[in-house]
Amino acid sequence: MRTLVIGDIHGGFKALTQLLERAGVAKDDTLIFLGDYVDGWSESAQVIQYLIDLSKVNNCVFIKGNHDAWCEQWLASGFVNDVWFQHGGKETIESYNGFSEDDKKAHLNFFEDMEMYHIDAKNRLFVHAGFTSMHGVEKEYNVQIFYFDRTLWEMAFTMDKRIKKDSSLYPNRLKHYSEIYIGHTPTLNYNRTEPMNAVNVWDIDTGAAFNGRLSAIDVNTKEVFQSDRVMDLYPNENGRNKN
């Protein structure tokens, strides 16, 4: 029995199914998804339906990302956020052609039930983007920070590795959890195509929305699984590369 954490999918249904096949996912595996299931490639609605069905077979944890919050808002009210529309929302709306109103209601319920963060039995934190409170996620003052913050990763990535955990200079944010797993910030920004580790933070977003791959990591062994480049699976599309 494994625990696999999966990065940002962004409508790449073909990449998702390929990744899970390559990882050899079994029914007793726990799957933790870090959010941003939609926006980018053309099969966002298909991704959501697949994940709903998958949760009936596997123990799944679904974290909410910023793109998911935008899509949820649209499904709930019909409101189209301008930023969302320009960054994958248009493709997501189009992916719902052929889906019934009942399907959309089921998807809305799926979005509404997503967790803002998850802490497992080994005190590992899973969150889409990060958090800012020095007292931990329970003391965060604004839930939107969980899916928009980039300062947690920037702090971990630039931290002086000579600072020991018992030092007064060691960031309090990093002391609360044994490990922290995030998405949201593509590792492509650092010219890396695989998940990155800094201090006790792991970034699993390997740029599937752009010209990267969809990635998963076994949290115990740190074995990495990846799809093909998602853009190669959708050769007639641009994903979010046009933005």
The confidence band for 161, taking pLDDT boundaries of 50, 70 and 90, is confident
- Mean pLDDT, rounded, for 23-41: 98
Residue 63 is given by DSSP the state B
95-121 residue pLDDT tens: 999 999 999 999 999 999 999 999 999
The confidence band for 243, taking pLDDT boundaries of 50, 70 and 90, is low
43-72 residue pLDDT tens: 999 999 999 999 999 999 999 999 999 999
Residue 71 burial (C-beta neighbours within 10 Å; 0-12, 13-18, 19+)? buried
The overall pTM is greater than 0.75: yes
Report percent pLDDT > 70 for the chain: 100
Mean model confidence pLDDT for the chain: 96
Q: How far apart are CA 139 and CA 223, in angstroms?
A: 32
